[in-house]
Structure 1
Amino acid sequence: MDMKVIQDDGEVAHVVLDGRFDIQGAQEVDSRFDELAKSSKVLIVDLAKVSFLASLGIRTLMLSAKTLIRNGGELAVCGASESVEKVLRTTGFNEVAGIYPDYESAARTLRERLGAFSTKKA
């Protein structure tokens, strides 16, 4: 799994994932997600290039969301395929974090909610 942090200014981290978010993918990115959740106010995860989402991938996202919430922040995902979004909603992920069609709508909504950042991409 490839993980690229496009923007990380200490307030917002925009993360783009590419590949299968299965056991191997989760192991590859777990520690980076933990660091970002502890150092950022908002984490927006772009899932447009994620072809498969397994339970360990959901666990990584859920733990990051809970860390952010404890610290007064928020996690959102965007760009998920229909099948990936269905898995997220089935597991109740949408009760912990937002699911948006694209980065811009996630950033706009979270900016309004938290007043923390610009919608510009680095």
Structure 2
Amino acid sequence: MQHTSTDRDGVTVLAFSGRMDATTVAAFDEAWRARLEAGANRLVIDMGGIEYISSAGLRGILGLLKACKSGGVGLAFCGIGEMVGEVFRISGFTGMLSIHPTADAAVAALA
């Protein structure tokens, strides 16, 4: 899994690509934890490059969601592809997450 981090109007945007599974979820966790520890209070997760997500990946997202809720951090997701979107729908994640079509829309939602 690869990721990049950018700052847009005070919102940290983490863009991920590759597979999100048991072997890569640690990199996902490390990336968002580092941003929260650095003081990010608004976070966008761009999943446009994620081609596959497993149950381990879903657990990683739950960990992020819990950390953001307990820390008062604004969180939004964007760029959800068809396969990941279907997994989110089946698992009930669409009702728990703020999901937007683009990073710009997600950043605007957190502004």
* Bin of the TM-score, shorter chain as denominator length: 0.7 to 0.9
TM-score (norm 2): 0.85
Q: Take 2:33 and 2:90, find their aligned partners in 1: how far apart are those partners?
A: 24
Counterpart residue number, 2:46? 46
Counterpart residue number, 1:119? none
Q: Take 1:45 and 1:106, find their aligned partners in 2: how far apart are those partners?
A: 9
What secondary structure does 2:32 align onto? helix
Q: Take 2:28 and 2:109, find their aligned partners in 1: how far apart are those partners?
A: 26
Q: Is the Cα contact below 8 Å between 1:74 and 1:97 reproduced in 2?
A: no
Q: Is the Cα contact below 8 Å between 2:20 and 2:57 reproduced in 1?
A: yes
Q: Is the Cα contact below 8 Å between 1:66 and 1:96 reproduced in 2?
A: no
- The root-mean-square deviation of aligned C-alpha atoms, in Å, is 1.9
Range 32-41 or range 82-91, more displaced: 32-41
What secondary structure does 1:24 align onto? coil
Mapped pair 1:84 → 2:84: yes
Q: Is the Cα contact below 8 Å between 1:79 and 1:100 reproduced in 2?
A: yes
Q: Please, which runs of 5 or more residues in structure 2 have no aligned partner? A: none
What secondary structure does 2:72 align onto? coil
Q: Is the Cα contact below 8 Å between 2:41 and 2:73 reproduced in 1?
A: yes
Percent of paired sites with the same residue = 25
Count of aligned pairs: 110
Q: Is the Cα contact below 8 Å between 2:11 and 2:110 reproduced in 1?
A: no
Q: Please, which runs of 5 or more residues in structure 1 have no aligned partner? A: 112-122
What secondary structure does 1:69 align onto? helix
